Amino acid sequence: MHIAVRNSRIQLSQGQIFWREIGSSDRPMVVFLHGSWQDSSQWLPALEKLGQQYHCLALDFLGFGDSERPKMHYCIDLEVRCLEEFLQTLNTEGIYLVGNSLGAWIGATYALQNPDQVKGLVLWQPIGVDLQLLKQGRDRNIWRKRLQLWLFQAIAPMARLLKRYSITKEIRRLKHELTEFRVPRMLLYQRRSAELQSELLQSRLGELQMPVFILYNDGDPTHIKTQSRAYGENIPHAQTQIIPSGSSLGNEPDPNLVLVHIDKFISQNEKKS
């Protein structure tokens, strides 16, 4: 039976938040947190696949996607406070948090501050444990996107002659990310090192006592694999799953692997509770 994804908005003290929702409220609640250069649409395959078993929510962080983009100083603490207010307003408790990249950093920070609210934590390609590794990631991402845009623009005239319209689509997508994704640039690229250092989690990961599942791809960049391993080594009883690089895991969740592992982790913990 097909279940439709519902779109909603809510006004919080810092701004309006948009989220997607599917599933019945009597099911275990799973909240999906998107990555650095993503929004809640990243998790649409997850909502469609897992909406039968769970009550799933995927929100756009403040400043991302269809959430409001107020002019303010963006930081991890601000996004965590918005997430906390969002969940309190919806009167949630006993949730599973699933975060990718930036979403994993925010989710882990929320779990440290609200351990009684989180039944389990899934961290996919997590970041936020080492300043130098964070800098490697930010430099690599921005220059890779700029190089991709330059290459696509260079071949665009020939692509139009050959009616390869997918190139034009990619150019629009990259321009959108480089011009519209102002907040991730502020969060990861344009803040002082001392402020970023104060938000890093490596020294606090040992405080996480709920079940934690670490997920990354063996083909991920070194800075992602290193940070993922740091999470796994510093969190007591954390489980780690490495996805083979041949699985074609990229920027989007792979419904045949990532979601299968997420589902298995949650269902196993539900049986124990």
Q: How many CB atoms lie within 10 A of CB 163?
A: 7
Question: For 48, how many CA atoms within 13 A lie in the half-sphere containing its CB?
Answer: 11
pLDDT tens track for 151-207: 666 766 665 655 665 767 776 666 666 666 778 888 888 889 999 999 999 999 999
Task: Return the percentage of the chain with pLDDT > 90, whole number.
Answer: 61
pLDDT tens track for 203-224: 999 999 999 999 998 888 898 9
List the structure tokens of 141: 């991402």
Could you tell me the pTM of the whole model? 0.86
Residues 129 and 231 sit within 8 Å (Cβ to Cβ) = yes
Give the pLDDT score at 178: 65
Q: pLDDT class for 247, splitting at 50, 70, 90?
A: very low
Give the pLDDT score at 69: 92
- pLDDT reading at 137 higher than 90: no
Q: How far is CA 15 from CA 18, 71, 114, 176, in A?
A: 10, 10, 22, 22
Domains and CATH numbers, the chain: 6-131+200-272 (3.40.50.1820)
Alpha carbon distance 182, 73 (integer Å): 11
